[in-house]
Chains A and B, each alone.
Chain A
Amino acid sequence: MPVSNGHRVAIVGSGPSGLAAAGDLAKMGYKVTVYEALHLAGGVLVYGIPEFRLPKIIVQNEIDNLKAIGVDIETNMVIGKVLTVDELFEMGNEAVYIGSGAGLPRFMNIPGESLKGVYSANEYLTRINLMKAYKKDSKTPIMHSKNVAVVGGGNVAMDSARCAKRMGAENVYIIYRRSRNEMPARKEEVEHAIEEGIIFRTLTNPVEILGDEKGMVNGVKCVEMELGEPDASGRCRPVEKPDSELVIDVDTVIMAIGTSPNPLIRTTTPGLETNQRGCIVTDGDSGMTSREGVYAGGDAVTGAATVILAMGAGKAAAKAIDEYIKNKN
């Protein structure tokens, strides 16, 4: 157990960013309390990343290690609801680190997205991972699909597709509007998906999800795309090919097209600056926000990115928080 320096820091979110910050701060002697909204600590490491990529036992060991060096983890605590950031300061914390993650899943706003059998990747992965629907005797329901379309080309799309395959689906499609070169997923993830027999339908964009008379998904209507001029992101803009409509027969559609920031902290923390998209604005690598003593990092700042970047942000913020508290006292 590190020697206490007598200062307290609160961390919002027990995902990769929060845990990285917690570990570094605890080793420096801070009394750290991590607040987690779900019933289990780990954030995306336990609800999002599948068991075959990151066994839950590894996450649990890391969390146990943090507890062993004095980090308190309080689950079932939704900051912005049961306690506000201001109240965390009133409770004696000298700094607060916000690592609350990516937020609300995006949908395409095309017809049929409310049919039975359309999931956000977050819901699909949470049911399987956190709620253990991959186990036969789980009390959490999940669709046992035969043909699955995953819309999107990021790491979360690859995880969803590979989970669907393991849940017994015969055909799993990745539907992506650009080509493989533009996919935001890490190369290895794409390669693993191909090795496992995931079918890539690139340059294809859904325009409608089709359903039967019971409201169950039975297909996804798409159009073919071709690449045009580069857009603001530097990637070639996909343009619809005329008269290219096609239907892929599926019983499940998983939307993995990103997230928009969660409003719970933003709307309950006066003076916390966010950008147009709703992400928390920070000053460079330090994670310092517009509110004194409040630091932020990970997906809450960058929008959906990677575990690695989130951990890096947590570590950088831990250093900045240490400097801030030392200078203040």
Chain B
Amino acid sequence: MYRILRKESLNPTVSLMDIQAPLIAKKAEPGQFIILRAKEDSERIPLTIADFDREKGTVTIIYQIVGGSTMELDTLNEGECLHDFVGPLGKPSETDGLKKVAVIGGGVGCAIAYPIAKKLSSLGCEVHSIAGFRNKELVILEDEFKKVSSKLCIMTDDGSYGTKGLVTNALEELIKEGNQYDEVIAIGPLVMMKFVCLLTKKYGIKTIVSMNPIMIDGTGMCGGCRLTVGGQTKFACVDGPDFDGHLVDFDEAMHRGTIYRDFESHMRDKNCNLMKQGDK
């Protein structure tokens, strides 16, 4: 059983869970993902692995409550079990030979950027981390990032914490200061990754992004997660989720991400109503 051993709220819309899944914990690497179903009739949702503990046999997930499925997941508490939990899926992030890397996380994307920063740091790579959030209330994983980065820039849209501005502002500044990165790793909203890639293209720095498209099986069967990368059709689940950001067609990915928007908002409203009824 995939028992929830710990549940913690990181900010008003983002929560963390440690899930008992010893086989997956044994094999998991940063950059890989799992697919879960909260309950028997839930949707399958992919979430990138935020951390793992091989000894304890746990896999950590961090999720933002955005729609019906994540709302349903959030109704489960410590001691309860997820109905399904499968992984580790996708290819691990490549970390070989990197000496100096800028790791960028946007919002809940920081949950995926952190394990990569942690692994790079453990391999002796110099890590500069940039974490962007809308405001102070939404900041997550600050202490964790601090431990594994020789430099950490927290950016907020409204300036309520860290420096006011976008992650691209911080990155450009670091580059202009003379930092020479082997690679930039950017994980966050599509629009953020797109603009990081536009910037790094200008400076000729290789950039890896982690894509999180709509997915069903996660093993290469459904083709729903397809992306255009360098003019070719790729499946995020088996070819990724990491890709060369300079080759990804972000505009297309943004379009495809909206296909079920109406349905999702309907399910969200329905779940909210159900929960309100439950409170009465």
What is the interface of chain A, defined by CB distance below 8 A to chain B?
37-39, 47, 75-78, 81-83, 101, 103-105, 107, 109, 113-117, 119-120, 122-123, 126-127, 131-132, 138-141, 143, 215, 262-264
Contacts and interface: CB of A to CB of B under 8 A. Distances in A.
B238 A113 contact: no
B137 to A, nearest CB: 30
B233 A76 contact: no
A122 B23 contact: no
B10 to A, nearest CB: 25
Query: Interface extent on B, as a size class?
Result: 35 or more
Contacts of B256: 114, 116, 215
B216 to A, nearest CB: 5
Nearest to A115: B255
A76 B85 contact: yes
Contacts of A39: 37, 44, 83-84, 86
Given A39-B84, A76-B85, A116-B255, A82 B23 contact: yes
Given A81-B88, A107-B223, 6 more contacts: A39-B86, A78-B219, A82-B27, A114-B249, A126-B221, A141-B264
Nearest to B264: A141
A104 B86 contact: no
A104 B44 contact: no
B86 A76 contact: yes
Given A105-B222, A120-B222, A140 B43 contact: yes
B-side interface mostly? mixed
A127 B43 CA distance: 10
A138 B40 CA distance: 12
Contacts of B258: 116, 215
Nearest to A255: B223
Contacts of A126: 216-217, 221-222
B220 A113 contact: no
B131 interface: no
A131 B44 contact: yes
Given A39-B84, A78-B86, A116-B255, A139 B267 contact: yes
Interface string B202-237: 000000000000001101111110101000010100
A78 B258 CA distance: 29
Contacts of A78: 86-87, 89, 219
Contacts of B68: 139
A4 to B, nearest CB: 25
Nearest to A143: B259
B221 A104 contact: yes
B260 to A, nearest CB: 4
A264 B217 CA distance: 13
B143 interface: no
Interface in B261-275: 263-264, 267
A111 to B, nearest CB: 11
B129 interface: no
A37 B217 contact: yes
23 contacts: A37-B217, A39-B37, A47-B217, A47-B221, A76-B86, A104-B221, A105-B221, A113-B233, A114-B226, A114-B256, A116-B255, A119-B223, A122-B221, A122-B222, A122-B223, A123-B216, A131-B43, A141-B259, A141-B264, A215-B255, A215-B258, A262-B219, A262-B221
Contact of B89 (A81, A113, A116): A81
A264 B219 contact: yes
B238 A263 contact: yes
Contacts of B83: 39
B254 to A, nearest CB: 9
B135 interface: no
A123 B183 CA distance: 35
B184 interface: no
Contacts of A262: 219-221, 238
